[in-house]
């Protein structure tokens, strides 16, 4: 069987077993396109020590207007394939919800799908902070959800106003940083902010945000590095990835 890590002498695994952010569901966004892509990516997750994956496909206005039906269909297809292949990996699905006009419409209809334990992964715009961010995060919490802000280190408008990140985090919102950002995959800015977040205790979860096998390779190489060893030590006892479990309860709208 093809194994992208075969040539590595040392297999380094992550200090948690749940990936809370990835694009492995086939054919619903610009992540995995086929079942074969998905299975290869799940095998890459397993190589890193992950045995529970929360599938968080994009739900974004205009580009990826997924619905509860498209996500359920993608999940069923992948779950069947994983069972046929007998991969020892637990799958759940939710989504990565961009805060935009499509979200506003879908949320009003009660179409959001929370993660196990009622966590929900929210994505800010990359251009500017959404005006309704504070109100929305508050509303989600009032409704019983535990909002996670996806990769805060990637929103460049926070890089020179990091106190704003502290302020959002102080309200109880969880922060999920991308391993790809730590690896430097998105350049200097996101890595620098991610390191600052670790230093200041603002990282609650790490995610692969894996869209393809190239991402898997970058992450795998990174977690074999000395830098990762140093960061992992600082994160010890802080990561809540494996807390994403338990029953979900849909909010009353």
Smallest distance from Fe ion to CB 21, Å: 6
Q: In terms of CB distance, is 47 or 96 closer to Fe ion?
A: 96
CB distance 225 to 231 below 8 Å? no
Tell me how far apart the alpha carbons of residues 148 and 96 are, in angstroms, rounded to a whole number. Answer: 10
**Residue numbers 34-53 binding Fe ion by CB under 5 A:** none
29 binds Fe ion, rule: CB under 5 A: no
**Which whole-number Å values give the CA distances from 35 to 68, 84, 252, in the listed order?**
20, 12, 35
Q: In terms of CB distance, is 78 or 226 closer to Fe ion?
A: 78
Binding flags for Fe ion, 197-216, as an x/- string (CB under 5 A)? ------------x-------
Sheet of strand 96-98, all strands in order from the earlier edge strand to the far edge: 58-59, 96-98, 119-123, 146-150, 174-178, 205-207
Q: Residue 116 is encoded by which pair of tokens? A: 């196990």
Smallest distance from Fe ion to CB 186, Å: 12
Task: Let me know how long the chain is.
Answer: 253
Q: In terms of CB distance, is 153 or 209 closer to Fe ion?
A: 209
Q: Are strands 96-98 and 58-59 parallel, antiparallel or unpaired?
A: parallel
Closest chain position to Fe ion (CB): 209
Size, binding site for Fe ion by CB under 5 A: 2
Smallest distance from Fe ion to CB 226, Å: 27
Helix ranges (DSSP H) in 48-161 = 68-85, 101-108, 133-142
Smallest distance from Fe ion to CB 55, Å: 11
**Residue numbers 80-109 binding Fe ion by CB under 5 A:** 96
Smallest distance from Fe ion to CB 28, Å: 12
Q: Which residues bind Fe ion (CB under 5 A)?
A: 96, 209
């Amino acid at each position: 069987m093809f194994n992208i890590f075969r040539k590595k002498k040392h297999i380094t695994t992550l200090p948690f077993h749940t990936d809370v952010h990835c694009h492995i569901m086939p054919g619903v966004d610009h992540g995995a396109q086929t079942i074969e892509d998905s299975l290869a990516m799940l095998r890459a997750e397993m190589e890193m020590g992950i045995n529970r994956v929360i599938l968080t496909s994009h739900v974004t206005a205009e580009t990826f207007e997924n619905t509860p039906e498209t996500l359920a269909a993608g999940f069923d297809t992948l779950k069947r394939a994983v069972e046929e292949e007998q991969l020892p990996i637990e799958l759940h699905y939710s989504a990565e919800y961009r805060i935009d006009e499509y979200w506003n419409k879908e949320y009003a209809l009660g179409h959001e799908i929370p993660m196990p334990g009622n966590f929900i992964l929210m994505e800010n715009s990359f251009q500017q902070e959404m005006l309704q961010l504070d109100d929305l995060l508050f509303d989600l919490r009032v409704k019983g959800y535990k909002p996670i802000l996806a990769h805060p280190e990637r929103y460049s408008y926070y890089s020179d106003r990091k106190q704003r990140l502290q302020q959002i985090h102080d309200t109880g919102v969880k922060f999920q940083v991308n391993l790809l950002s730590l690896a430097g995959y998105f350049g200097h800015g996101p890595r620098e902010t991610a390191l600052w977040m670790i230093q200041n205790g603002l990282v609650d979860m790490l995610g692969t945000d894996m869209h393809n096998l190239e991402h898997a390779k970058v992450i795998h190489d990174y977690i074999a590095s000395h830098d990762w060893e140093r960061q992992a030590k600082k994160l010890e006892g802080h990561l809540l990835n494996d807390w994403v479990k338990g029953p979900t309860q849909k909010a009353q709208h």
